[in-house]
Structure 1
Amino acid sequence: MRAIEAAEHGGPEVLRTVEAPDLVPDAGHVLIDVAVAGVQSLDTYLRRGLWTDFFPVKPPYIPGMEAAGVVTAVGEGVDPGWVGRNVAASVQNGYATQAVTEVGKIHPVPDGLGPREAMALLHDGSTAYALLEETPVKEGESVLVQPAAGGLGSVLVQLLKAAGARVVGVARGDTKLALVKELGADVVVDYSSADWLSQVGTVDVAFDGVSGPLGQAAFSAVRDGGRYSNYGNASGSAESVSPGRGITTRGIEQLSTFHADGRRRIERVFELAATGKIRPVIGRTFPLDQAAEAHRAIEAREVLGKTLLIP
């Protein structure tokens, strides 16, 4: 098989294409012929050597935590009926033409949903759904989302609108703001504007995937007694907010608790997308061999929605 290997921790240039032996599924596992691999911001952090306390990866390794494609073989103890089925899956070697994973980590892709759309929702969609379950929002409440044009934020905006919230989408640049408005945000704000916080005003809830100074600013926009939920540090800063003013806070550590009920959430967002109730946003696709360019684009915040690799 062909794969992308992170030879060491460092910049995107450490990613290189390698040839590796074809994979064989062990007992309880399946082999997937990868049609599309998802690229997460987390992949870029791990490549740089960040967050390895939570995700212990050591170079050389094949990045990628999600892939979609067709099951081509199964290991001992796995129902052979899986062979030939279209699935999306959590994996440990997604940047490759083949992936092996436990049968419990694969999810059938329903009719009406393609592999690329499923890949855009597998983690980002289910995480957005989980964030709203952890920090519920009432109809009519004002909610800030930043960054609102990313893979997760774009789904979160749509779920919040379906819940009847007034959504304030924060992003940078006319293209991203236009997308957020198209997805249903009531107000769009460019955080590069000097007066962006005054444009946001006061909100009941803030969902922050940026952290750092922008995260601190989002927290300051939350009313006394409101709610603040952090789910990422796109700024590169792990600095957290200091609780106060009676605000209920959820930190990035909440993400580690979402896996236990992930299957239900994944099935739900797949259903919502297959029936047209939410729209997965696919920003850019790159050939597998251009994984380094995909990482550069994410780190430069050049992409809308989900970024994908195509073997």
Structure 2
Amino acid sequence: MRAVQFQEYGGPEVLGVGQAPEVHPGPGQVRVQVRASSVNPLDWKLRAGYMAQGKPLTSPGIVGFDASGVVDEIGEGVDDVAVGDDVFGLGSATAADQALLEVYARKPASVDWAVAAAAGVAAETSIRAFDLVGVTAGSTVLVDGGAGGVGAVAVQIAVARGATVIATAGPDNQDYLREIGATAVEYGAGVADRVRAVAPDGVDAVFDVAGKTPVADLLSLVREPAQVVTIARFDAGDSGIQLTTGRAATAGQALAETAALLENGALVIKVQTFPFSRAAEAHQISQSGHVRGKLVLIPES
């Protein structure tokens, strides 16, 4: 099968499309014929060797951590989907003709393949973060970095939960934030004061997506440090903010919630699609940090 892979660690230019061994599902997994796979920051961190802990690459690496596709093989113990079902979900090495999904949900028929693929990592991450800080109806939450792949999904999920959402982005994305239901403020120096101008009593929770605002500024907006959760701040030390990485045990429930939001139109994801052969271009855009919505790779027929 074809896969978007790299033979050495490096920049986007090391990516190419090559042959990879066929995969088969283990217990609890499903194999899909991939229709789309999204690009996440985790992909270029993997490609650049940031996750290698100094160890050399011994076999080609394949990017991709979420995908949508048609189930064509099921592993032991799988009884909630069948061969031929349309699904989306989370796995690894998903930017390939075939991929194994470890957590998945049925794709609503009305949802485009690229949009479904774009939802997996971003939605599970957002729901995991919001559950940690208790974002529910009536909460006021700041999404710091609200226009990118995770941030825009997070804004809409919080709005769907009944929260009041304030979100930061650059000047070119202020209208976009308002379009998806947030009160928009510009990030950068003085952002905490701009947030307080629209939320004088502070906020109930902060979801730090971008990792660019000083920790002290984020902490100044909440009563307790644990009300700040980050996916990007690995230098927070003993500040008391919550760092969340990996995948929650409730990821399956998160994807089911995501499927419902996609189906009823409460979650709309803007996507830019690229064929597998242009994966390097998509990675370069992702790594620039100036993305609106999600970048999605499509297998070439």
CA–CA distance in structure 2, aligned partners of residues 114 and 199 of structure 1: 37
2:83 match: 83
Which runs of structure 2 are paired with 1:247-262 in the superposition (5 Å)? Answer: 249-251=241-243, 254-256=244-246, 258-262=247-251
**Displacement of 1:78:** 5.8
Give the count of matched residue pairs: 290
Q: Deviations over 1:170-225 (max 9, x none)?
A: 11131x22211101112x12224x443321226322110222x5242542442343
In structure 2, the CA distance between the partners of 1:13 and 1:74, relative to structure 1 (3 Å rule), is same
CA–CA distance in structure 1, aligned partners of residues 80 and 192 of structure 2: 55
1:172 match: 170
1:189 match: 185
Which runs of structure 2 are paired with 1:236-251 in the superposition (5 Å)? Answer: 238-240=234-236, 242-243=238-239, 249-251=241-243
Q: Is the 8 A contact 2:36 2:113 kept in 1?
A: yes
CA–CA distance in structure 1, aligned partners of residues 82 and 57 of structure 2: 29
1:135 match: 133
2:228 match: 228
Using structure 1 for the length normalisation, give the TM-score.
0.82
1:62 match: 62
CA–CA distance in structure 2, aligned partners of residues 31 and 109 of structure 1: 15
Q: Deviations over 1:240-271 (max 9, x none)?
A: 2642xxxx6211xx333x43111111101111
CA–CA distance in structure 2, aligned partners of residues 63 and 26 of structure 1: 18
In structure 2, the CA distance between the partners of 1:241 and 1:84, relative to structure 1 (3 Å rule), is same
Structure 2 counterpart of 1:88, one-letter code: F
SS at match of 1:129: helix
**Displacement of 1:81:** 6.8
1:199 match: 194
Per mean C-alpha deviation after superposition, the further-off stretch among 161-170 and 148-157 is 161-170
Aligned alpha-carbon RMSD (Å): 2.7
Q: Is the 8 A contact 1:120 1:280 kept in 2?
A: no
**Displacement of 1:308:** 0.5
Matched, 1:267 2:256: yes
SS at match of 2:38: strand
Which runs of structure 2 are paired with 1:123-162 in the superposition (5 Å)? Answer: 123-137=121-135, 139-162=137-160
**Displacement of 1:68:** 1.0
Percent identity of paired positions between Structure 1 and Structure 2: 31
Gaps of 5+ in 2: none
**Displacement of 1:279:** 2.1
CA–CA distance in structure 1, aligned partners of residues 31 and 228 of structure 2: 40
Matched, 1:120 2:118: yes
1:297 match: 285
**Displacement of 1:72:** 2.5
CA–CA distance in structure 2, aligned partners of residues 25 and 60 of structure 1: 18
Matched, 1:111 2:109: yes
In structure 2, the CA distance between the partners of 1:280 and 1:218, relative to structure 1 (3 Å rule), is farther
Matched, 1:47 2:47: yes
Q: Is the 8 A contact 2:136 2:158 kept in 1?
A: no
Gaps of 5+ in 1: none
Using structure 2 for the length normalisation, give the TM-score.
0.85
Q: Is the 8 A contact 1:128 1:156 kept in 2?
A: yes
Structure 2 counterpart of 1:182, one-letter code: E
CA–CA distance in structure 1, aligned partners of residues 79 and 219 of structure 2: 52
In structure 2, the CA distance between the partners of 1:142 and 1:10, relative to structure 1 (3 Å rule), is same
Of 274, 292, 307 in structure 1, the residue corresponding to residue 295 of structure 2 is 307
